[in-house]
Amino acid sequence: MEALDHLNEFERNNLLKTHKRHLKAMGKEQQEKHRLENIIKVERNHDERSFHVHFKHGEWYHYTLSNEWY
């Protein structure tokens, strides 16, 4: 995943765990839109201790180090 290439191992594992939890909270149609392959950009936000995860369809979410999203 090119969008995740700049993350270190801890960050990548944290993001993947949060993403997995995020998908479980969605229906099948939404899961398709939010597949890992549809992540186009991940930005660190040090002040919020989170990542801004951007998807192809235009939505983005905060993924926190506590494995939550909003």
pTM above 0.75, yes or no: yes
SS (H, E, C) the chain: CHHHCCCCHHHHHHHHHHHHHHHHCCCHHHHHHCCHHHEEEEEEECCCCEEEEEECCCCEEEEECCCCEC
Q: What is the pLDDT of residues 8-67, one digit of tens each?
A: 999 999 999 999 999 999 999 999 999 999 999 999 999 999 999 999 999 999 999 999
| Domain parsing of the chain, residue ranges | 2-64
Q: What is the pLDDT of residue 52?
A: 98
Q: What is the pLDDT of residue 1?
A: 75
